[in-house]
Amino acid sequence: MKKVLSAFLAVVTIAGSLATAMPAAQADGGRVAAGVGLGLLGGAIIGGAIANSNRPAYGYGYAPGPVYVEEPECRLVRERFWDGYGWRVRRVQVCD
């Protein structure tokens, strides 16, 4: 609801500024200016409706599809060993 209200306020603000800024005396009684203003207003309303729809956007904001990766043949394993002075840990590469 918050998005709809803010979109409506933005459209009303743009429409009000267009209505006050368009000179109507030079274009056949204002028909061209009114057409441009109404076209922009209609585009803003339709754009706001599309932006607030719940249909998924293709590619934007969504994770990519699953990727299947084979496990590597070799891996590192921690191994405890006695070095003559005490127990220590080392990493050993194990290949299947």
Tens of pLDDT, residue by residue over 34-53, are 788 888 888 889 888 887 77
pTM greater than 0.85 (yes/no): no
CB-count exposure of residue 77 (10 Å: 0-12, 13-18, 19+): exposed
Element holding 18 (H helix, E strand): helix 2-21
- Token pair belonging to 9: 């306020």
pLDDT greater than 60 at residue 71: yes
Domain boundaries defined on the chain: 2-51
